Structure 1
Amino acid sequence: MRRYLLALISFALITACSSSTPMPEQEFVATPITKPENIRLFVGQDLGAVGGLAQYDNGYVDYFGHPAGITIYTSLQSLEGLTEKVNYGAGDNHANLYLQDPGYNGVDIAIGLSLVDQLDKVNSGELDANIVKFAQWMAQSERKIYLRIGYEFEGAWNGYAPESYKKAFRRIVDGLRKEGVSNVEFVWQSSGYEEERDDLLQYYPGDNYVDWIAYSYFNHDPKEAGKEMLRLAREKGKPVMIAELTPRGANLMLDDGKELWDSWFVPFLQHLEDNQDVIGIIAYINALWDEQPMWKGQGWGDTRLQSNLYLSGKWRRTIKREGWETTSTLKQPPIFILPEDYEEQKAARDKMKPNLTGNESQLQAEDAIPRGNVRIYPDSAAVGGKGMAYMYQTGDGLKFENVTQSNYIAVRYATINTGKIGLAVNGSRAYDLTFEGTGSWVGTYDMIEQQVSIPDGADVEIIFESGDSALNIDYVMFDRR
């Protein structure tokens, strides 16, 4: 893909390293790779987008926690952005900042390695010394590296000739293996658009050189995205990475969250479900594209998940519901501060549409049918200034009638207790909702979030029974994909 490094070559310093004879291709028997049990979530693709660092503290990590991995970009020609900061108009990149920050311990790295205008230099051996340097950097990183060699290989914007590309891919892999690098896996990534099997196979380096098969996913048809790459992955027994993922053209800060969730995120989640047998990693690009010079005016938009309250909530619950692997999770994220000209920007965007139907139902506790001792309590920290309290004896509870079909529930609560309370569906206790104390009966809230199975039209009760613990409830959210 061109997004990060199209402008790279005209700026890069050429490393003057040469070899008189090319390295021979090595015989190598690949070890079969098993897809991770759960999808691993990666986030990129620049320091500001990722965040979680002293100098970069308004990115994804600052609102959601550390993902399983992050994405960065470099080229074999210059290895820029690894040991020092670089910016070619697409945000700052400096991989060592991640390695030096304790918060990123255990967070893996997916590297997009550009080979634009470098294939001849790779294949002649001119860049062999950089392969050695790259190997040394990988080894000292002490984490798993997923190396996307010549990513989006068939994209016309890259200009890769198939035979030269395959030869370069193999030379890089052989060179890294020769240096004994054991913490790298090699990724073969297409653009994911309108793929033709025969065209793709012209670029295939061989089973012994590819650990992961990958593609990009932007505004693709979810039934067609990566279709042939997925088929090849199944045939060859390789796991799949969606290496670049973002709703191109959306403006998450200004667009209607429900509409965008339904139109882009839900089809993408269905794409994952349809291909859950092979997809092991997804890498979301959480960037304010329109403010980066390289992408300004190209229609990439603003895909920062934290900038939309509805979408950020859905994303957090999706991570939990789907069981995606991350490194850490923020239970109490900060509030995203909107810019002073937000209303003007929003009016200019002119995309808000009233009365949209979402797939999430947030119900105030005070609107439920109270049981036993339960009654309203006032609290300025509760949504609407009140909630429901005195749920402490057998039979006390809240009943929500005719609930929409849901596979996830979120309950905002306050309590000094740690324990559980029952969730009954159509009169029978079906789940224990477990919770930890918030330190107070009012003012300080936390969320119970749990996967459930509630049929459409069901009556649902939060009910106190013997062995349960008391809590106050602000609201209940019934959610589905």
Structure 2
Amino acid sequence: MINKVIISFRILLLAITFFCFFPSSIFSQEQTIKDSQRPIDDMVSKIKTHVDPEFVYEYAQTKFVPPNGKTLLIMGQTVESITEYQNHFSNEKAPGGWSAYWAITEFKGVTERHKNDTGSSQNHQMLVDKFPNTVIQSAMWMVGKWGITENATLGYYDKVIEKYAAWAKSLNRPIYLRIGYEFDGPHNELEPKQYKRIYKRIVDILRNKGVNNIAFVWHSYASKPFKDYKLSDWYPGDEYVDWVAISVFGHAYNSHFGSYCDRVLEFAKQHKKPVMIAESNPVNGIEKSNLNVWDDWFVNYFSFIYNKNIKAVSFINENWQNLNIPGIQEWQDARLQNNEKISEAWFMETDKDYYLKQSPQLFELLGYKE
């Protein structure tokens, strides 16, 4: 009898020790099993597709806007990540557009491949050659540091803009040009008066060169602004802006995207401009066997697109740990291909007719004419 008690006590001690030292592995295994059994359509059904009628309004002074009940799907953002995305999802229909970057200071990454300090490459022309019947979302880098805005104001980079104008004019497709993207971000240190002056100068050069296939995008950081300037301080005027854009990174981990985001959307509505999510990604990462990011980020993200009547959305399929970009060292690997069920849910949602993808009819739907 005593031996049986001792054996039972030892078994109890072993059980307590095991659960004390290995509880997380047990629970994580249970969660993995539950996630693997979760139907994809149940995941997608959590997205709220209601459209707030306040954000359905007539647009003025704009270009290349999808028709009612449609939004343009764009993917990005580097040669490497786009190529990897295409190789991994070769059986999926291509998005309606691709994003790329260049700088006001030099004509690199437009007509030829250019590898920059981040360790990634840009090549606008590759996107043109490789993906017919798609648009280009082109981001022009410009900051208030290193004398860049002073030089731009003096016309030092006019020749760069003129080269870009000649290239853009040669293309038979819409281009969405983000001039000084995230203009109000503290990381860019752009003074509003200088920014507006340069923005107008760029638009005037492009228009004077007869470039008609560019929509001009005014892209806000949609977070706490540089020196707490008012949003309107950076606005170059209705006649110079076709689209208003925002970035969505940490915003979507909360169903309410924040007061700064609200201000941009309200500003766009007041000025009768369509809204684009110009950059977006769940920067805390997409893990191989964890579906929490779907409920924590993607559901809020897609619900926001519907609710606020967002007319174009650009998703960055990126492993941020591979990029040498100051200020984002905490960002993680957030590529769709990391998690099979996340990517399946992504494509189940974006395969809906609501999203405009690559097609011979795309340019006509956007109101683009040669």
Q: For the superposition of Structure 1 and Structure 2, which TM-score range results when normalised by the shorter chain?
A: 0.7 to 0.9
Code of the aligned partner of 1:268: Y
Shift of 1:306: 2.2
CA contact 1:109–1:144 (8 Å) conserved in 2: yes
**Structure 1 residues 296 and 229, CA, compared in 2 at 3 Å: closer, same or farther?**
closer
Structure 2 match to 1:471? none
Shift of 1:292: 2.6
Shift of 1:34: 7.4
Structure 1 match to 2:337? 306
Gapped regions of structure 1 (runs ≥ 5): 1-29, 329-481
Alignment coverage as a number of residue pairs: 289
Structure 2 match to 1:247? 282
**Using the alignment, how far apart are the partners of 1:241 and 1:248 within structure 2?**
19
CA contact 2:249–2:282 (8 Å) conserved in 1: yes
Structure 2 match to 1:113? 140
Structure 1 match to 2:53? none
| TM-score, with length taken from structure 2 | 0.73
Shift of 1:190: 0.8
CA contact 1:39–1:324 (8 Å) conserved in 2: yes
Say which of 225, 233, 239 aligns to 1:208: 239
- Percent identity between matched residues is 31
- 1:91 has 2:120 as partner: yes
CA contact 2:73–2:95 (8 Å) conserved in 1: yes
CA contact 1:90–1:295 (8 Å) conserved in 2: no
Structure 2 match to 1:443? none
CA contact 1:50–1:61 (8 Å) conserved in 2: no
**Using the alignment, how far apart are the partners of 2:62 and 2:180 within structure 1?**
23
**Using the alignment, how far apart are the partners of 1:57 and 1:224 within structure 2?**
27
**Using the alignment, how far apart are the partners of 1:61 and 1:229 within structure 2?**
34
| TM-score, with length taken from structure 1 | 0.57
Say which of 303, 315, 323 aligns to 1:292: 323
- Structure exhibiting the larger radius of gyration computed from Cα positions: 1
| SS across alignment from 1:43 | strand
**Using the alignment, how far apart are the partners of 1:199 and 1:60 within structure 2?**
43
Structure 2 match to 1:422? none
**Using the alignment, how far apart are the partners of 1:253 and 1:75 within structure 2?**
33
- 1:81 has 2:116 as partner: no
| SS across alignment from 1:62 | coil
Structure 2 match to 1:50? 82
Question: Cα RMSD (Å) of the superposition?
Answer: 2.3
Structure 2 match to 1:161? 191
Structure 1 match to 2:34? none
**Structure 1 residues 324 and 156, CA, compared in 2 at 3 Å: closer, same or farther?**
same
**Structure 1 residues 106 and 322, CA, compared in 2 at 3 Å: closer, same or farther?**
closer
Written as runs of structure 1 = structure 2, the 5 A alignment for 1:395-434 is none
Structure 2 match to 1:281? 312
| SS across alignment from 2:305 | helix
Structure 1 match to 2:200? 170
- Give structure 1 regions of 4+ aligned residues with deviation exceeding 6 angstroms: 195-198
**Using the alignment, how far apart are the partners of 2:193 and 2:149 within structure 1?**
10
**Structure 1 residues 286 and 60, CA, compared in 2 at 3 Å: closer, same or farther?**
farther
Shift of 1:291: 2.2
**Structure 1 residues 296 and 209, CA, compared in 2 at 3 Å: closer, same or farther?**
closer
Shift of 1:90: 4.3
Say which of 63, 68, 89 aligns to 2:96: 68
Structure with a larger share of its residues in strand: 1
**Structure 1 residues 198 and 60, CA, compared in 2 at 3 Å: closer, same or farther?**
farther
Code of the aligned partner of 2:302: L
**Structure 1 residues 94 and 32, CA, compared in 2 at 3 Å: closer, same or farther?**
closer
CA contact 2:120–2:323 (8 Å) conserved in 1: yes
**Structure 1 residues 34 and 126, CA, compared in 2 at 3 Å: closer, same or farther?**
closer
**Using the alignment, how far apart are the partners of 2:282 and 2:82 within structure 1?**
17
Structure 2 match to 1:183? 213
Shift of 1:40: 0.6
CA contact 1:48–1:59 (8 Å) conserved in 2: no
